[in-house]
Amino acid sequence: MGNEFREMDPDLVERIKGDAWSIGSMEAHGAGERTTTYVGSRISGYLDNDSRKGRLVFDYYQDSAGAYWFKNRALLPDGEIVSMDRYIFGRELGRYAHTRRRK
């Protein structure tokens, strides 16, 4: 998705936000093979509860079965939108960096 940002209609946000799951858990919900389409974004709250650090962005997606998913990004004070990995770790991590290894 890159740095795409399209503000969502507030009515749509209210309709889907309670039904959206984290996009990182698609496989756990049996939706790992579905394709997703970006629906839009909304800005909500401050990063680390500190207005000087920026805002939290929720990006919403709809999958090929009609389910909704979200991913978070960070809106920095300079206006740049970055991934949460880059905000937290200062760099992008690999796709499976957050995956717990099985013993």
Query: Distance between CA atoms of 2 and 7, rounded to whole angstroms?
Result: 15
Which residues pair with residue 63 across a beta bridge?
A: 36
Please, what sign has the CA dihedral across residues 14, 18, 24, 26? Answer: negative
38 within 8 A of 23, measured Cβ to Cβ: no
The structural domains of the chain, with segments of one domain joined by +, span 10-89
Could you tell me which residue, 97 or 77, shows the higher pLDDT? Answer: 77
| pLDDT tens column, 13-68 | 889 988 999 999 999 999 999 999 999 999 999 999 999 999 999 999 999 999 99
pTM greater than 0.75 (yes/no): yes
Our CA dihedral for 64, 94, 91, 21, rounded to 10 degrees, sits at 30
pLDDT band with cut points at 50, 70 and 90 for residue 96:
low
Of the listed ranges 10-14, 49-53, 99-103, the least confidently predicted one is 99-103
Comparing C-alpha atoms, which of 50, 58, 59 is closest to residue 77?
A: 50
Q: What is the pLDDT of residue 63?
A: 96
